[in-house]
Structure 1
Amino acid sequence: MTTAPTTESQETAPQQEKAKGAGKIVARTIPVSAIFPDPEQPREHFDEDKLNELAASMRKLGQLESIAVRPGPANTYLLIAGERRWRAAQIAGITKLRANVHLGVADGDPMTLAKQVAENVARADMTPMEEAKAFQRLVDAGYSIEEVAEMCGKSPAYVGWRIDLLQLAPAVQEAMAKGHLPVNLAWYVAKLAHDNQVRFLSRWVRGDFPAARDAEAFAQACAAEEKRQGEQGAMFVLADADEAAQALADDGQEPLFADLSNDEQERITVERKKLLGKIDRMSEIGTVLSEIATMEPGELALLLAGAPGGLAAQRQRITHLQSLAVKANKSLRDAQMAAAVRAGGTQATPEAAMEATQDSAVINHA
């Protein structure tokens, strides 16, 4: 069990402290110049503006919270928690910091890493990729997703979503870090093969999607198509951005018939006619809704207040229709993106795709 900090008045070298009992914590004042960031620190980027704000606060009010360190090599200390305060102290010209020195902590200690991750995540200063890498390191150290979530005050789903981002291609990671790709959309993109991730990114940057939801649906459709073609022994390769934009524009309906049997094509043709007939009848509902929307409220009250269930029942019926319309619109959006994917992609055998990648690498390095 970790003990509360105690104060030692005499100077003690880090090497001597290192030999003391594991788990003991001593409170000391340490020169800033003797403190160094832990190479295992999960955070990689620090906001300069926020550091300057913290430096100004420390310059005026002093150090409000102790940092946590452990003995390092050659009379130095390595940070466990408080790197922002240490960096701000240097900006503010502060030469010494109060610190809780954790003794007997070995390099790569999983609990130390857990404390570093928990502190940084709690302060909401880590980038999504920093969180992803930190969570994965904790999992690699033997913690379960549930334990990581509990330590960091997050849900297991959140931790899992962040770890999934590690599947992003380097170029896509960089785009997300620069704010060119929303984190939520990046999670869907991470499900794709790296080559298709990069092709998808080019379309997103071009503005080929009306909204982020359309892009998410497109990425999901790509993942489904990758799986479908993979089961057939082929690889799904997205077309270039120009071809994809054209596919989005014209819906690409008939190219979807390409790998269907004659019987299946006939079935689809019959079912399409039935569905279109039903959709055509929706105009009747639209006429009724338009009439209700333009009625004077007092007149509408007189007409429906005395009807079975009253106005509340009629409004509930409209609300139900609205909910169904939202769901139907989502289904149509997903279908539109699926059609664009099927029309804007090609099939290749794994061997052919590998040869194409190798040829491209040779050309790029020539």
Structure 2
Amino acid sequence: MFKQIELDQITANPEQPRKFFDAEKHQELVQSIKQVGVLQAVAVRPVEGQGAPYMLVMGERRWRAAQDAGLTSVPARVIENMDDQEAYILAITENVVRADMTILEEAGAYADLAALGWDAKKIADKFGKSETHIKWRLGLLTLRPEVATMVDEKKIKPNLAWHIAQCSPQHQIIVANRYVRGDFDSEADAANFAQGLRMAEQQTSLITEEAPSVEDQEKRKKEKAKAADKLTRVEAILPLLEELTKHKPEDLATILGTELGRYVREIDRLVNRATLARRILRQANGLAEARETVAATARKATAADIAKQEPEAPAQAAARANAPKSVAPRVRKLAAPAPKPQAPGTKAPAKPAEPVKA
């Protein structure tokens, strides 16, 4: 049933999954309503004890904008016999379909449905999403509030946010701040760093392991030299490619003729291998930086513990100096124990013989 309802007869849904309303878009809608009115009706349901006879199901943004535009009523579709859960699901559907919610609001809405017993497949089918999408959104709910705000403000993209969410809270803020500050060359590098932190957190032996033996140190030195030699030889290819690009296509066609096809295929292989090597090196770099970050965090924590304990030593010494000197307890001489009573029928022990006088 559609009807015109006074704005003060409608109350917002306190369980509305959407909490953030873009101020700029709100003003655009206000101006549009001033010019052409509310073109799409809001949806409401009858309620009792809420301060107004109707509660919004869909269209809170239009309802808010209509108030700021100076309207006194809005067109509304009244939905009868709808309970709180049905109203909530309908509100989620509208916001997800229109992409009006922030990423964290969307994740929170899915979590509420999961709490009602919905699995990822049911949620995905309901909103036309993949199960992977639902699970990735749910994975964002472990983000620290400060990092979640960065995501909602679109300073951090969803894919990177998911990788950050896998880290411990103390490392989440490190990755987020470094990314927002521009410390990484790309989003992929930031994700590699986050993955490295996660691995380093799981491998506690990185911090607690014993110092490598002389043999291990020598082995690592040789492996490092070998890897560095390979990368140096790769660098030698760059001048050759730069020299090649200086030739005009027509000159190369004349020089190489039909052999060009073979060289093109070799270059393609080189590009593919170089792309793979770059990805591996970036992942390795992320892990190396992560290990150093975890180690630095541990060193900082240890230094803080030591600093906390050091001021206590003088205080304890002063307390001992000012303490009253302890007095040794007086030793009271005890009387010799009385002889034990003899058992009936036994003879008393003979007295020791007195020494013979000379």
For residues 194 and 242 of structure 2, the distance between their equivalents in structure 1, rounded to whole angstroms, comes to: 36
- Does the alignment pair 1:295 with 2:295? no
- Kindly provide the amino acid, as one letter, of the partner of residue 315 in structure 1: V
- Kindly provide the amino acid, as one letter, of the partner of residue 292 in structure 1: L
Partner of 1:142: 117
3-state SS of paired residue (1:346): helix
Asked if the contact 2:200/2:294 (under 8 Å) is kept, the reply is: no
Aligned-residue offset at 1:287? 4.3
Aligned residues: 301
Q: 1:1-60 CA distances to partner (integer Å, 9 max, x unpaired)?
A: xxxxxxxxxxxxxxxxxxxxxxxxx33332111111111110001112212222222233
Partner of 1:87: 64
Aligned-residue offset at 1:333? 1.8
Partner of 2:73: 96
Identity over aligned pairs, percent: 35
Q: CA RMSD in A?
A: 2.9
Aligned-residue offset at 1:78? 1.2
Aligned-residue offset at 1:179? 4.1
For residues 235 and 30 of structure 1, the distance between their equivalents in structure 2, rounded to whole angstroms, comes to: 66
Between 30-39 and 261-270, the greater mean CA deviation after superposition: 261-270
Asked if the contact 2:18/2:95 (under 8 Å) is kept, the reply is: yes
3-state SS of paired residue (1:39): coil
Query: Which of 182, 190, 196 is the equivalent residue of 2:165?
Result: 190
Query: Which of 31, 49, 72 is the equivalent residue of 2:6?
Result: 31
Query: Which of 292, 296, 301 is the equivalent residue of 1:343?
Result: 292
Query: Which of 246, 254, 277 is the equivalent residue of 1:328?
Result: 277
For residues 211 and 264 of structure 1, the distance between their equivalents in structure 2, rounded to whole angstroms, comes to: 35
Partner of 2:30: 55
Q: Mind listing any 5+ residue stretches in structure 1 that lack a counterpart? A: 1-25, 237-256, 360-366
3-state SS of paired residue (1:325): helix
Partner of 1:273: 225
3-state SS of paired residue (1:329): helix
- Does the alignment pair 1:317 with 2:266? yes
Partner of 1:78: 55
3-state SS of paired residue (2:78): strand
Asked if the contact 1:38/1:78 (under 8 Å) is kept, the reply is: yes
Partner of 1:285: 237
Asked if the contact 1:69/1:102 (under 8 Å) is kept, the reply is: yes
Aligned-residue offset at 1:122? 1.8
Aligned-residue offset at 1:146? 2.3
Q: How does 1:222-241 map to 2 (within 5 A)?
A: 222-229=197-204
Change beyond 3 A, Cα 1:279–1:56: closer
Asked if the contact 1:42/1:134 (under 8 Å) is kept, the reply is: yes
Report the TM-score when normalising by structure 2.
0.74
Return the index of the structure with the highest Cα Rg.
Answer: 2
Q: Mind listing any 5+ residue stretches in structure 2 that lack a counterpart? A: 309-358
Q: How does 1:140-289 map to 2 (within 5 A)?
A: 140-229=115-204, 260=212, 264-289=216-241
Asked if the contact 1:38/1:80 (under 8 Å) is kept, the reply is: yes
- Kindly provide the amino acid, as one letter, of the partner of residue 326 in structure 1: T
Aligned-residue offset at 1:235? 8.4
For residues 225 and 28 of structure 2, the distance between their equivalents in structure 1, rounded to whole angstroms, comes to: 65
